[in-house]
């Protein structure tokens, strides 16, 4: 054993001086801690890079100087964003002594967004977008068309490769940025085209009069988005063919420091479908502007409801979840200096925005509902129904769900629980039928794995009422075993298992059952999906064997030859139509053993796309649902809702 003296590996107080303080200069902090600036270094962070550059172009559009924005995914993996705005200034910056272009791309907190005379509103917060993208790129090149000339500057990992140079003449204006993300920073440098198409479409809705174009050099695809109707058109497309319970509303008004533009409509389905934006930047977690709108709606419904003596004494007052049940809304505000939660801009913080939006929305609601009492009555009926459902869910929790393991209540009889105390490291497998349940119970590790068999296809919770759902025995077993409660009462602190794993057969029926379960979780236990507690098991589809050699295959495209079997050998191929066809040892080795199995985490990435998927699969259009399941059941490897 080697001893360690005071001078090797340990710094004592006497040795600790100024030389030990590391000063990160320029863009070094970005490369050292990229997560602080782009959130993550996975595919989300990768696409955030594009968004930062596009945001700069959108800011030019919001200022009235840009009408076209094009994003191109190049064959070499780089991305080019081009706009026809005014072009980044190229003259010498008085403070840095460098060109304004170099300053913007190499200095944190530098940019035109700090000058209110340049941008009254902008998506940028810290003025770090361009410089962060530069720092996290292997190479970045900027072309500026401005004042009749073309200017060019190149960077590598944030470091200028020479100064800015004039390379020609032009009759155009605008900025073109090409960057290649650094593979030493990101987990993988591979953009997802569908993600950018969705964002570009969204930006076109939010910026009427501006054309957004997407080009892929790899696939040859080219898409153009232009929506003159803005969020009014977007709302109509979001609602689609759903049963509409109210008119489509749209209003735009300016407060002291806030311009609000809002469109909303109530439909027959449940849950809140609100999208929100600040200066065209999506705020996935809402914030002050969303709270202002919902507060105004809650206030006016309670006020008029009491005036008309329409609110049931058992309800007394509506709550936020009541007035947003079945609400489709798009809330967008433009403000001078947005304050977000983090650089990734997930939630708006400016407190005054809530007050201004609340007043704007309240004035609109009051005028419309007083002049159109029939419109108020339609919306009131929906909200009143939601309130009654909330009370029913609360009653169900108090009567059915309170009997959990903590209070000594009786768990479902078919549940084979695990022996480990607490939920850390524990797993609940939800399986279809007693046959598969029997194999799973025998094959599991009972220390940390619990098994709950469900009989047949559970209730279609997309269409059923809360009372009918709570009366369904299979659903009650599921709720009691999980322990969190449902809807507004869903409490992850009471979650009995760390992982909830859906394990169904690898066929069409299995896909249908999995979809029904996911619908239930999405509608009634959504925090479990959002916090990453729900998974789908991946059982094998085939087993190839010859002699002592056995290979399990998890998709349809693999052949024996791909696993080293000769083409002319007498190979035994077994197709697993159901989990019950595997014995306990096989099920453990292929699907339940943490060291060998594959699990697919279920996530909620995009509310709009998830809503569309669930409407197709679980809505009233039976033909669309059957077509989707039959088309995709065998090809989908991971269901991302």
Q: Would you please indicate which residues are annotated as catalytic (active-site) residues?
A: 432, 505, 507, 509
316: left (phi > 0), else alpha (psi -120 to 50), else beta?
A: left
**Distance of alpha carbon 549 from alpha carbon 52, whole angstroms:** 52
Closest CA to 612 of 198, 203, 294, 217: 198
Q: Using alpha carbons, list the distances in angstroms from residue 559 to 105, 206, 330, 345.
A: 51, 48, 49, 47
Strand ranges (DSSP E) for 477-626? 499-503, 534-537, 542-546, 549-553, 572-575, 599-601
**Distance of alpha carbon 106 from alpha carbon 180, whole angstroms:** 16
* Alpha helix stretches (DSSP H) within 505-583: 508-524, 526-530
CA angle 528, 487, 484 (to 5 degrees): 50
**Distance of alpha carbon 612 from alpha carbon 89, whole angstroms:** 43
* Alpha helix stretches (DSSP H) within 216-287: 231-239
Token pair in block for residue 360 = 């704007």
**Distance of alpha carbon 33 from alpha carbon 275, whole angstroms:** 30
Token pair in block for residue 391 = 């009370």
H/E stretch holding 155: strand 149-156
**Distance of alpha carbon 181 from alpha carbon 139, whole angstroms:** 8
Closest CA to 63 of 119, 144, 114, 134: 119
Cβ atoms 331, 293 nearer than 8 A: yes
Burial level of 604, CB count in 10 A (0-12/13-18/19+)?
middle
484: left (phi > 0), else alpha (psi -120 to 50), else beta?
A: alpha
How far is residue 282 CA from its own chain's centroid?
11
């Amino acid at each position: 054993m080697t001893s360690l003296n005071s001078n090797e590996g340990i710094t004592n107080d006497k040795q600790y001086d100024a030389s030990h303080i590391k000063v990160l200069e320029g863009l070094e902090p970005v490369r050292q801690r990229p997560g602080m600036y782009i959130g993550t270094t996975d595919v989300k962070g990768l696409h955030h890079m594009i968004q930062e550059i596009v945001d700069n172009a959108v800011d030019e559009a919001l200022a009235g100087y840009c009408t076209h924005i094009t994003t191109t995914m190049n064959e070499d993996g780089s991305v080019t964003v081009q706009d026809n705005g005014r072009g980044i200034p190229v003259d010498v910056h008085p403070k840095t002594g460098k060109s304004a272009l170099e300053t913007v791309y190499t200095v944190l907190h530098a940019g035109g967004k700090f000058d209110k005379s340049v941008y009254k509103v902008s998506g940028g917060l810290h003025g770090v977008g361009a410089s962060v993208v530069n720092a996290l790129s292997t190479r970045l090149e900027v072309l500026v068309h401005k004042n009749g000339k073309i200017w060019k500057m190149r960077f590598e990992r944030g470091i200028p490769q020479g100064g800015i140079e004039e390379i020609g003449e032009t009759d155009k204006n605008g900025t073109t940025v090409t960057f290649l993300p650094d593979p030493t920073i990101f987990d993988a440098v591979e953009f997802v085209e569908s993600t950018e198409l969705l964002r570009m479409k969204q930006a076109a809705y939010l910026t009427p009069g501006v054309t957004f174009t997407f080009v892929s050099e790899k696939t040859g695809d080219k898409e153009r988005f232009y929506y003159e109707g803005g969020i009014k058109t977007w709302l109509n497309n979001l609602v689609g063919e759903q049963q509409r319970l109210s008119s489509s509303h749209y209003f735009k008004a300016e407060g002291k420091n806030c311009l609000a533009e809002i469109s909303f409509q109530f439909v027959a389905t449940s849950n809140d479908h609100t999208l929100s934006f600040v200066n065209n930047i999506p705020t996935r977690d809402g914030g002050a502007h969303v709270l202002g709108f919902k507060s105004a709606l809650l206030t006016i419904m309670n006020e008029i409801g009491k005036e008309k003596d329409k609110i049931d004494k058992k309800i007394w007052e509506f709550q936020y979840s009541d007035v947003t049940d079945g609400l489709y809304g798009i809330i967008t505000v433009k403000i001078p200096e947005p304050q977000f939660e983090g650089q990734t801009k997930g939630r708006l913080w400016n407190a005054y925005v809530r007050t201004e939006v609340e007043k704007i929305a309240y004035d609109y609601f009051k005028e419309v509902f007083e002049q159109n009492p029939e419109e108020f009555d339609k919306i009131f009926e929906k909200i009143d129904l939601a309130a009654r459902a909330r009370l029913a869910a609360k009653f169900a929790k108090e009567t059915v769900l309170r009997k959990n393991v903590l209070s000594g209540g009786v768990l479902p009889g078919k549940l084979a629980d695990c022996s480990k105390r607490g939920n850390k490291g524990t797993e609940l497998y939800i399986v279809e039928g007693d046959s598969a349940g029997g194999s799973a119970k025998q094959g599991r590790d009972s220390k940390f794995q619990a098994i709950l068999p469900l009989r047949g296809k559970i209730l279609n919770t997309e269409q059923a009422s809360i009372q009918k759902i709570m009366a369904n025995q299979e659903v009650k077993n599921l709720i009691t075993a999980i322990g969190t409660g449902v809807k507004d009462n869903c409490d992850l602190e009471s979650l009995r298992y760390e992982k909830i794993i859906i394990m169904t057969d690898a066929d069409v029926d299995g896909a249908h059952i999995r979809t029904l379960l996911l619908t239930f979780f999405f509608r009634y236990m959504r925090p479990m999906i959002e916090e990453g507690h729900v998974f789908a098991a991946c059982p094998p589809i085939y087993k190839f064997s010859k002699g002592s050699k056995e290979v399990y295959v998890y998709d349809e495209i693999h052949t024996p030859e791909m696993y080293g079997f000769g083409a002319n050998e007498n190979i035994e191929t077994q197709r697993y139509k159901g989990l019950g066809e595997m014995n306990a040892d096989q099920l453990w080795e292929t699907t339940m053993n943490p060291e060998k199995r594959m699990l697919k985490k279920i996530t909620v990435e995009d509310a709009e796309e998830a809503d569309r998927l669930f409407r197709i699969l679980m809505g009233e259009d039976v033909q669309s649902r059957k077509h989707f399941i039959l088309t995709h059941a065998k090809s989908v490897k991971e269901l991302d809702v």
